[in-house]
Amino acid sequence: MGYCLFTVIFKSDNSSVQSSQVYVTGNAVDFIEYPEGKGPKDVVRVLAHVGRGSNYLHGPKYYWCLYSE
């Protein structure tokens, strides 16, 4: 029933300007959807618990697969 809130700081093509995106996910955080033109190599820093009250993106939907033999 919990969630994770964090802000990802991205490097920019410009030498001094950085961009950021706030994310909210469930407790299972494996992947995020990157803003257009950004990817894993552009991540400079992740700030845990930062971004409350901001416009945020949800993490990708995930599904549990339960089975038995």
Domain boundaries, the chain: 4-58
Confidence of residue 60 (pLDDT cuts 50, 70, 90): confident
Cβ(49)–Cβ(5) below 8 Å = yes
Which pLDDT tens digit goes with each residue over 10-58?
998 776 667 899 999 887 778 899 988 899 999 999 999 999 988 888 8
The answer to whether 47 and 6 have CB atoms below 8 angstroms apart is yes
Tokens of 46: 């992740």
Give the Cα separation of 17 and 64 in Å (integer).
39
